Amino acid sequence: MNVFYLLVLSLAAPALASPFLHRRLKFAKISAILGVAIALALHAHAASFSFGELSLDTFSHLLLLVALIDAAVALVGFADPSSEYPQAASLYSVALMSVLGVVGLAYSGTLTMLLASWALFSVSSFALLALSKDKFSAAGAVKYGLMSIASSSFLLLALSATAVAVGGLQMREASVSGSLLLASLGLLLAAVGFKVGVFPFHAWLPDAYGVSDPLPVSLISALSKSAAVLALYKLSLVTANVLGESWLRLLGVAAVLTMTYGNITALLQKGFQSILAYSSIAHAGYILVGVAALSLSGRAKELALAGLLLQLLAYSFGKTGLFLAARLLRRSGAAPLKIEDLKGLGVKDPAVAAPALILVLSLMGMPPLAGFWGKLYLFLSVVESAPWLTALALLNTGIGAAYYARLVKSIYFEPGAPETLPYRSVRAALLACALATILAGLLLPFVLQTP
C-alpha cells in the first residue's frame, strides 16, 4: 500500500515542479522521464492487495505495467520536439498528471477513487492536446473537452446507479440483477466508451486524433485505451457476473458497431492521421470484444484477459510509434499529413519506414507480431459463447487489412521524397516501439500460455 503513495509521489513531484522549470527545460524532461521510470520500478515490485480505497489485482498490475512502459517510451520521444512548444514545461507536467490518472484507475478500490482518477485523466488529457496551441489542436481539444464534460454526467449517473444497486461505494460484487444495473452499464458504456471512440460516442475522436498535433496524441491515444479498459475491468468485477448474458450481448453489439464503423470509415480516408484515428475506433471495437468476454468464466475469461493485455500492448506501442512517426513528417503548426506525403519513405528514410511497417503490420494482425496474438486470443475467447461475434470480428479484420495495406503501399511501393525532421529522440522511441512489438509477439504467447 505504501507503494501507491511512493508511486503518486514519484509522478506528482515532477508534475508539480515542472511548470517552475520552464527556464531549465532539460531538468523538466529528465525529471519527467525519471519520474515515470521510478514509478515503473516501484510498480513492478508491487503485489496484489486490497485496502480501503485501494485495490490492485494481477490483471490491473500487468495492464498498468504496459501503460507505464509505453508512457516512458512516449516521453523519451517528447524530448526533442517539445522544445518547440511555447509551454514545454507544462506539457510534461500535464503528461505526468494523465499518467497519474491511469495509475489511480489501476489502484482504485472504490467508486469514488475511480471517479476521481477518471476526472484527473480526462482533464489532463484534453489539456495536453490543447497545449500545442495551433488551430488544428485547439479545435480537437475543444471538442474533446466538451464531450468530456457531457459524458461526465453519464459517468456520475452510472456510478451512482451502481452504488445504489450494490448498496455502497465499495467495489464488491453486486448480488441482485435488474434493469437498473443494466442501465448503469449502458451509461458507463457511453461515459467510458466515448474516450476510446465507442460508436455512437466517438464523434470527437477523428477530429482530435486526425488533425491535432500528433505528439500529444501519441501519448493520449495509448493511455486512453488503458484507462477505459481499466475502468470497465474494475466495474466488471462488480456487475459482469450478475449481468452475465446481458453484459456479453450489450458490449458485443457495441463492439461490432464500433469496429465496423471504424474500419469502413477508415477505408477511404485521405489523411494519414485520420486513418490512424479511425483505426483507433476499430481497435476500440476489438477491445470491447474482450471486455464483453469478462462476463464469461473459466478458460474463456483467461483467454479474454490475455487477449486484452496483448491487444492493449500492441495497440499502445503501435499508436505511440505511428503518431510519433507522423510527428517526424509534420512540422509543428503545419496541416495534417496526407497518405501521399508518405510516398517514397521506404527509400528516403528506411530507419523510419521499417519500424513503421512493423507497427502497421502488427495493427493489421500479422503473425508473429503482438497484434496477431492479441486478436487471436480476443476472438477465441468468445468463439464458444458468441460465435457471431468472432465471425463479425474476423470479417472486420479482413476489411481493416485493406487500409493498412494502403499505408504499406505508399511507404514502400510508390515513388516520392518526403522530408523527415531530425528528431533523434523520436526515432529512438519509434524503434523501441517496433522492437517491443516484435519481442512481445515472439515471447509473450509463451509466457501467457493459458492451460
Partner 1 sequence: MEELLLLSWLAPYIGAGLVLLLHRASWSAKSSAAILSILVSALASSAGAARVVSGHEVHVSITWIESLSARVGVLFDGLSSLMALVVSWLSLLIAVYSYEYMHGEGGETRYWFFFTFFVGSMMLLVLSDNLLTMLAGWEGTGLASYALIGHWFTDEEERWVGDPGRRALKIPMWSEPSHSGLRALVFTRVGDVGMIIGIATLHTILGTTLLENLADGVWASRLLSAGILPAFLWLLFLGAMAKSAQFPFHEWLVTAMTGPTSVSALIHAATMVKAGVYFLLRFAPFLVAAAGISQAASTVHGFLEALAVVGAFTAFMMATMALVSRELKLVLAFSTASQLGYMFLGVSAGALAAGAIGGLTAGFSHLMSHAVFKAALFLAAGAVIHAVHSRFIDDMGGLAGTMRLTAVAFLLAGLSLAGIPPFMGFWTKDEVIHYVSEAGLIIPTILAVVTAALTACYTARVFSRVFLGASRAHGHEPGPAMLAPYLSLGLASAALGVAWPLIAPRVEELLHHSLGVASSKEAHTSPALPGAVEAALVLALISFAATLYAYGWVKVTPYRWVSSSRFLSSLHAFLYDRWLLNGLYYRGIVGGFKAFSSSLYRYFDTGVVDRLYHAVIPRLFQGAASLASAVVEAGYDSLLHRHLVNGFTGLWRLFKSLQTGKAPHYIALMWIGASILLVLILLGWLW
Residues at the site binding partner 1, with contacts judged by CB under 8 A = 142-143, 146-147, 150-151, 154, 179, 182-183, 186-187, 189-190, 194, 199-201, 203-204, 206-207, 246, 249-250, 253, 261, 264-265, 267-268
What three-state secondary structure class fits 382?
Answer: coil
Q: Which grid coordinates are listed for 370?
A: 503482438
Toward partner 1, which CB reaches closer, 208 or 314? 208
CA 125 from centroid of its chain's CA atoms: 12
**Distance in Å, CB of 118 to partner 1, minimum:** 17
Shorter beta-carbon distance to partner 1: residue 44 or 164: 164
Q: What angle do CA 414, 415, 420 make, to 5 degrees?
A: 105
- Residue closer to partner 1 by CB (options 170, 246) is 246
Q: Is 303 left (phi over 0), alpha (psi -120 to 50) or beta?
A: alpha
Pairing of strands 49-51, 54-56: antiparallel
Dihedral sign for Cα 80, 85, 89, 91, please.
Answer: negative
Backbone dihedral region of 421: left (phi > 0), alpha (psi from -120 to 50 degrees) or beta?
beta
Name the minimum Å distance from CB 142 to partner 1.
7
Closer CB to partner 1, 256 or 310, in the complex:
256
Q: Nearest distance from residue 367's CB to partner 1, in Å?
A: 27
Among the listed residues 365, 375, 361, 393, the one whose alpha carbon sits nearest the alpha carbon of residue 309: 375
CB nearer to partner 1: pick between 10 and 265: 265
| Closer of 44 and 146 to partner 1 (Cβ) | 146
Rounded CA gap, 348 and 314, in Å?
Answer: 27
Residue 178 beta carbon to partner 1: minimum distance, rounded to whole angstroms: 10
Cβ–Cβ under 8 Å, residues 102 and 121: yes
Q: Shortest approach of partner 1 to residue 230 CB, angstroms?
A: 22
Residue 254 beta carbon to partner 1: minimum distance, rounded to whole angstroms: 9
Give the cell for residue 419. Answer: 522530408
Q: E strand or H helix at 49, and its extent?
A: strand 49-51
Q: Which is nearer to partner 1, 27 or 199 (CB)?
A: 199
Surface-to-core class of residue 295, CB atoms within 10 Å of its CB (0-12 exposed, 13-18 middle, 19+ buried):
buried
Q: In terms of CB distance, is 37 or 150 closer to partner 1?
A: 150
380 grid coordinates = 477465441
Q: What cell was used for 442?
A: 515472439
Output b/e per residue, 164-178; b: 16+ Cβ within 10 A: ebbeebbbeebeeee
Least distance CB 208 / partner 1 (angstroms): 11
CB of 210: closest distance to partner 1 in angstroms? Answer: 9
Read out DSSP for 147-203?
HHHHHHHHHHHHHHHHHHHHTSSB--------HHHHHHHHHHHHHHHHHHT-TTS-T
Q: How far is the CB of 179 from partner 1 (least distance, A)?
A: 6
